[in-house]
Amino acid sequence: MVEYTPKERLVRALTGKPVDRMPAVSFTQTATVEQMEACDAFWPEANYDAVMMAKLAEAAHTVVGFEAVRVPFDITAEAEFFGCQIKEGTKIQQPSVRGHVVKTAEDIDKLKGYSLDHGRVGVICDAVRILTDKYGSELPMIGSMLGPFSLAQHLNGDDWFMAIFTDEAFVLALMDFTTDFNIAYAKKIVENGADTMVIIDPTASAQLIGVEYYEKFVVPFHRKICDSMHELGVPVVLHICGDTTQGLTLMESSGIDAISIDQNVDIATALSKVKKSLIVGNLDPVNVLWNKTPEIVREESRKVLDAGVDLLVPGCGLVSKTPTENLQAMIEMAKNHAY
């Protein structure tokens, strides 16, 4: 039987080609305190410095055994880039967005004409380059960014969900702006060496805004990002939090290669709703990976695999206090799974 490098295996799996066995990766954030201690690169500094970020991303491979490297570890770099106030976070907690910069359509115009070289967006691209130089020929380099809908929400604040129902012109203008940014940023991440793109768009959920608004305000924008990545031969994974069952068919229609579902979605139902996209997920990062034993992780992984998931991965970003031995139990289950 042919044996692939981890890089070949993941690309083949994501593009629907046969592989020797399941890749063992995570499409959501990988950093944990045990990895920070093992590699001496800690949050919050590792969120702001490219060398430390690369070091901590690498630990997911060298310390835990994931067959990929992935950056970043949080979802605030994009809002920070546009001047939103950020709470820095701690060793165990990710940064969060505290202030917003877009109230009106005129505010959007003031943000135009940016250069992607500065701020944490530049730091993340530098970390991708460092990791690619070291592992590029062997390991998948997964680049991740906040998606356009959640970025719009970060820029606009809580008013965003009201605007969805009351101000179509503003919503479309802000979605155009964030999507153009996403495309430029994703291309830059790919130029620096990423071979897989993850869109984390936690609140772009049909469950939250309804199927009709999801179709109008999310699908065309995700499709534009997908098209731009596919032109470069880069597969796209989309992660949306919560119960996304109602939106799965629409998520697929935007051209996503793999849909990352969380633990609130039933795998069999998800598989029945999509035809082309892979369904990846959905081991509970809190109630299984963080809080249970390796034995339970293996049992729960077995259930996910038996349900027919295309790739066994965490259902959302890892909790920083997740034990390494639990992650290794999941990785072992994925590696031992032949298709």
Question: Footprint of Zn ion on this chain (CB under 5 A)?
Answer: 241, 262, 316
Min CB(215)–Zn ion separation in Å: 21
Closest contact distance (angstroms) between CB of 315 and Zn ion is 7
Minimal distance, residue 169 CB to Zn ion, in Å: 30
Where does residue 102 fall: left (phi above 0), alpha (psi -120 to 50 degrees), or beta otherwise? beta
Choose between 52 and 316: whose C-beta lies nearer to Zn ion. 316
Written as six digits, the tokens of 182 are: 């996403």
* Minimum gap (Å) between residue 239 Cβ and Zn ion: 6
CB of 17 to Zn ion, least distance (A): 27
Reported as type and span, the H/E element at residue 105 is: helix 105-110
**The dihedral sign for the CA sequence 109, 111, 116, 121:** negative
Question: With respect to Zn ion, which residue has the nearer C-beta, 206 or 241?
Answer: 241
CA angle 33, 38, 44 (to 5 degrees): 45
**Please, which residue, 6 or 147, has the CB nearer to Zn ion?**
147
The least CB distance from residue 304 to Zn ion, in Å, is: 16
If you write DSSP's letter for every residue of 312-333 in order, what string do you get? Answer: EEESSSPPTT--HHHHHHHHHH
Closest approach of Cβ 123 to Zn ion, in Å? Answer: 23
For residues 52 and 241, which CB has a smaller minimum distance to Zn ion in the complex? 241
Rank residues 153 and 228 by Cβ distance to Zn ion and give the closer one: 153
Cα Dmax for the chain: 59
Question: In whole angstroms, what is the distance from residue 63 CA to residue 152 CA?
Answer: 36
Is residue 339 classed exposed, middle or buried when 0-12, 13-18 and 19+ CB atoms within 10 A define those classes? exposed
Three-state DSSP at 260 gives strand
Within 13 Å, how many C-alpha atoms sit on residue 144's CB side? 26
Cβ-contact 24, 66 below 8 angstroms: yes
- Residue 43 · residue 62 · CB < 8 Å: no
